[in-house]
Structure 1
Amino acid sequence: MTASAGTARDLQERLETDLFRLGSAVGVPGASVALAFGPHVVEAAFGVVNTRTRVPVTTDCLFQIQSITKIFTATLVLQLVDEGLVQLDRPARDYLPEFRTADASAGEQITVRHLLTHTGGFEGDLWQPTTSGPDALDRFVRDLVAQASQHSRPGQRFSYCNSGFGTLGRIVEVLRDATYEQALRRHLAEPLGITELAFSADQALAFRTAIGHVRATASAPLRPTREWALMPPSNPAAGNQLALSAGGLLELGRLFLSGGRASNGTRLLGEASAALMLHPWLRHRGVADSHQGLGWRLPRPGVAEHGGGAPGVATMLRIVPEQGLAAVVLTNADAGGQLTQQLLDPLFADLAGIAPPVAVTAPAVAARVGHPDRFLGRYSTRQFRFEVTSDDEGRCWLTREARNETVTMDRRAGIATMVDRREIRPLEHDTFVAMSEDGGVAGTFTFLEQGDDGRFRFLANDRVAPRDA
């Protein structure tokens, strides 16, 4: 579909109208949106950056983008591939000899491609603080990744891995002889014309900057988080603190609409490398048509995206390369995820013919789990403990309890950490859904690998949680 001059005016009006309507309806304090369709770029802003100060959101306002930073990191790595400095299927240790996990033999086998596709097989959420200086990623790899538990063989399965992207960021630092911030600014932000960005709270003070908003309890009012950055600066390559404007982040998305060229025509990424990043390398568990690229998620054919989130922050970058369509939604509340879906799904359907994702149908109330003993027990990652139990009526339940740095993060945000307990119902094979209070589907997960005793060894959704010994 080709955009006309009239389309730009129509899009601007639609974006502003829909953003105001949906932002008010879902209860997001503030949001900034940018959209590119063909040669046209439109932007809109809604609400306030902080409910305490009541400063309005403008289109140049900065929001933390969290895990969308991984697309910057992956692009920096593929630039190194273009220059012949990195090969995707070589072990990461070839470029970073100090890289290892708790399983020394596995650490020797983990390749750059494994890290880019979240298939390294080691603990992904290492949120302990190291330093805030130029040695942050060096210390992250040496002190934290080196002790990361190995739950799967390299390349065996997908498990979202922040620590893998911290390792990639350190590879960039070593090969560029620069800090991660310096490399990102020099090789991507400046050539893309991105000037509205900050890597820390100190830098964010130079801009009009949004702060996240949370509820202390489910029924409490929204309040600004107690601190602007809840995650430590130890892993900037995975997205702990980076903040951008919606228009600035849109330039990264537009790079992939043009096969690796910036909007001014400068080639920043080889066409083949841009295509590699958007190639479906493996299928995500339990989600039809959803695949993993290099950094990018491919939730359905023709679409690539990456979201970002932390308490009080919800963001999205979504593109349809073949239709020349890209969009960014940045918000300062958890409900921003709902706003993103309601805003972008109709737009992408109308502009690019992309049908909204098919919602998972909740199993019937009478659905029961056959042979529940296979699933019962505790499963843990560093940040969460899960327990599967059954009751006298034959129903199964999943309890999730935060631990370690997640508890600390909640306290810093001003959230009372709660234990979440939901009924789970079988969907198909070993995939289940967790039920929400209103009878809808709150999420899906899959049990993996039955042992000799018949019990499953892992509980997996976006991350793999091994059964406790």
Structure 2
Amino acid sequence: MIHTERIRARVRELLTEYGIPSAAIGVLHGGETTEFAVGVRNVSTGEPATVDTVYQCGSMTKTWTALAFMQLVDEGKAGLDEPVRGYLPAFGVADPEVSAAVTPRHLLNHTHGIEEEYGDPGEGDDVYERMVENIIGAPQVHPLGHTHGYSPALGYAILARVMEVADGKRWDDIMRDRLFVPLGLTGTYSGWEQVDPRRAATGHLIRSLEEGPFVSPLDCLPRAFGPGGNVNATVRDVLTMASVFLGGGRALNATPIVSGESVREMTESRVPIPDPYMFGPEWALGLIVCDWHGETVYATDGSTIGQNARLRILPERDVAVAMLTNGGPREAFYKKVFNEILTDLGAVTIPDPPMADPALNLDPSRYEGVYDRPGTRYEVHAEDGRLHLTSVLDPLHARLLGREDRIRYELLPVSETHFLMPSDDPLEDTQTVAIYDFENGAARYLHTNCRVHPRAQDERSPR
């Protein structure tokens, strides 16, 4: 039994503590739904958030897109392991072998390795077609299938273009016709511009707890992120989507959405995540696979510019827990809220982060170097035998959040390849980092927050 009023009061305290304007929370347990909202959907107007408030779901969108793709697989219109070129004959990137071999499975589990160099595809209905055209010269971050490296927009945009060709409709229409309408959703949309402003949560950022949250200067992500990040939904509708996984392919209203075989494929086709501590040790098809004290839990999360979404599915308990906020993300906030709910349900709770091992005696030279991607740079260096990491922020981003553009952390080893990255900033939680895949005595990749960053050539030891 969920003690709603107690949890509501606790959430209200935590919203103040973390500088988050509102949260809508929902629990699906044994086919019964409990939902409530706390806080305001816009700090400027003070309008209260309700269970009918529509939030931006960010990368949780990928789970919705994956479900729609698996419908096409069920119908024989698409295949997980058929090369993308089977649907898009002109598809190509810089590496000819990748151009010929990349499949929807690579796109779904983030092992395609194609750099997000798709230029400006615009905001028109042909956006995903143009993204595919624009990556003809895109390089590889890593070889096809070599490691997991999260693709924020490109991978699922390519997948969406495959869906458009296979189904003969735009991605937005596919989502509406194949998911939103059959599921009976009344507050879910494929783009921010479709949401009634009277229902929409406003995104917020925070520079300091003293100042508090302020309205984000950007309303939403570009349309290029659509299949990977632009679904907007109520917490009730998120739980309805989750019910498909608890129901073996059928939703709460008994509507068949995908086959039981497709649910098994989505949950059991997995690749390892180099940093297993931030979210979970494996990535499936549109889902993260977590290990909570030996129990398998499926996760899907998302963030936009000032909004955040969390969903955890516990099939052994017939439970799904969702939370949508218009601030954050903060790992500590989500864990405190979810653990309150899970404890009430008598369910397994979220594991604590790993402990550092001070007995480890590592050779710093194996890790030192620059690891970067366009827009992101990490410098790993040693001082007095201890490893440190400097995160180099985009200057505009740093100014917006009132932060330095170079932030330094100490790396505390958990194992030979995994580290804790604690922060002195009260607005930042401890992060985890993997530095791994050694060649000629030096690590090739740095993986954090699910993103992979290759070592820059000839930059072994920055100062």
Normalised by the length of structure 1, the TM-score is 0.89
Partner of 2:258: 269
Residues 388 and 399, structure 1, Cα contact 8 Å, conserved in 2: yes
Q: How many residues align?
A: 449
Deviation at residue 421 of structure 1 after TM alignment: 1.1
1:297 correspondence with 2:285:
no
Partner of 2:172: 181
Residues 20 and 213, structure 2, Cα contact 8 Å, conserved in 1: no
Amino acid corresponding to residue 451 of structure 1 in structure 2:
E
In the alignment, the residues of structure 1 paired with residue 117 and residue 314 of structure 2 have an alpha-carbon distance, to the nearest angstrom, of 32
**C-alpha deviations, 1:67-125, integer Å up to 9, x for none?**
000001111111111001122122122122233222121221112111111111222x5
In the alignment, the residues of structure 2 paired with residue 20 and residue 361 of structure 1 have an alpha-carbon distance, to the nearest angstrom, of 30
1:316 correspondence with 2:310:
yes
1:326 correspondence with 2:320:
yes
Partner of 1:4: none
Any unmatched runs of 5+ in structure 1? 1-6
Moved more, 302-311 or 428-437: 428-437
Partner of 2:362: 370
Consecutive aligned runs of 4 or more in structure 1 exceeding 6 Å deviation: 438-441
In the alignment, the residues of structure 2 paired with residue 345 and residue 73 of structure 1 have an alpha-carbon distance, to the nearest angstrom, of 28
Match of 1:431 among 402, 410, 418: 418
Deviation at residue 443 of structure 1 after TM alignment: 2.0
Moved more, 427-436 or 57-66: 427-436
Deviation at residue 410 of structure 1 after TM alignment: 6.7
Residues 300 and 310, structure 2, Cα contact 8 Å, conserved in 1: yes
Deviation at residue 438 of structure 1 after TM alignment: 7.8
In the alignment, the residues of structure 1 paired with residue 346 and residue 265 of structure 2 have an alpha-carbon distance, to the nearest angstrom, of 22
| Aligned alpha-carbon RMSD (Å) | 2.5
Amino acid corresponding to residue 170 of structure 1 in structure 2:
R
CA 1:128–1:243: 2 relative to 1, 3 Å: farther
In the alignment, the residues of structure 2 paired with residue 430 and residue 375 of structure 1 have an alpha-carbon distance, to the nearest angstrom, of 9
Deviation at residue 205 of structure 1 after TM alignment: 3.6
After TM superposition, list the pairs within 5 Å mapping 1:206-221 onto structure 2.
206-216=197-207, 220-221=211-212
Deviation at residue 356 of structure 1 after TM alignment: 2.0
Deviation at residue 22 of structure 1 after TM alignment: 2.8
1:233 correspondence with 2:227:
no
CA 1:193–1:463: 2 relative to 1, 3 Å: same
After TM superposition, list the pairs within 5 Å mapping 1:374-453 onto structure 2.
374-391=366-383, 393-403=384-394, 418-437=405-424, 442-452=430-440
After TM superposition, list the pairs within 5 Å mapping 1:29-428 onto structure 2.
29-123=21-115, 125=116, 128-143=119-134, 145-162=135-152, 163-216=154-207, 220-229=211-220, 231-239=221-229, 241-279=230-268, 281-287=270-276, 290-300=281-291, 301-351=295-345, 353-364=347-358, 370-391=362-383, 393-403=384-394, 418-428=405-415
In the alignment, the residues of structure 2 paired with residue 410 and residue 259 of structure 1 have an alpha-carbon distance, to the nearest angstrom, of 45
In the alignment, the residues of structure 2 paired with residue 271 and residue 445 of structure 1 have an alpha-carbon distance, to the nearest angstrom, of 35
Deviation at residue 465 of structure 1 after TM alignment: 0.9
**C-alpha deviations, 1:236-263, integer Å up to 9, x for none?**
0010x32111111111011111011122
Match of 1:19 among 11, 14, 26: 11
In the alignment, the residues of structure 2 paired with residue 201 and residue 84 of structure 1 have an alpha-carbon distance, to the nearest angstrom, of 32
Residues 214 and 312, structure 1, Cα contact 8 Å, conserved in 2: yes
CA 1:417–1:442: 2 relative to 1, 3 Å: same
CA 1:126–1:277: 2 relative to 1, 3 Å: same
Partner of 1:3: none
**C-alpha deviations, 1:390-434, integer Å up to 9, x for none?**
22x22221111134xxx66677x6665632210112221222222
In the alignment, the residues of structure 2 paired with residue 339 and residue 267 of structure 1 have an alpha-carbon distance, to the nearest angstrom, of 35
In the alignment, the residues of structure 2 paired with residue 242 and residue 16 of structure 1 have an alpha-carbon distance, to the nearest angstrom, of 26
Residues 316 and 328, structure 1, Cα contact 8 Å, conserved in 2: yes
Match of 1:459 among 437, 446, 459: 446
Residues 57 and 304, structure 2, Cα contact 8 Å, conserved in 1: no
Amino acid corresponding to residue 107 of structure 2 in structure 1:
L
In the alignment, the residues of structure 1 paired with residue 45 and residue 369 of structure 2 have an alpha-carbon distance, to the nearest angstrom, of 47
Any unmatched runs of 5+ in structure 2? 458-463
Residues 78 and 269, structure 1, Cα contact 8 Å, conserved in 2: yes
CA 1:328–1:417: 2 relative to 1, 3 Å: farther
Amino acid corresponding to residue 374 of structure 2 in structure 1:
R
Residues 250 and 326, structure 1, Cα contact 8 Å, conserved in 2: yes
**C-alpha deviations, 1:179-204, integer Å up to 9, x for none?**
11111011001111112123444322
SS of alignment partner, residue 28 of structure 1: coil
CA 1:438–1:344: 2 relative to 1, 3 Å: same
SS of alignment partner, residue 182 of structure 2: helix
SS of alignment partner, residue 278 of structure 1: helix
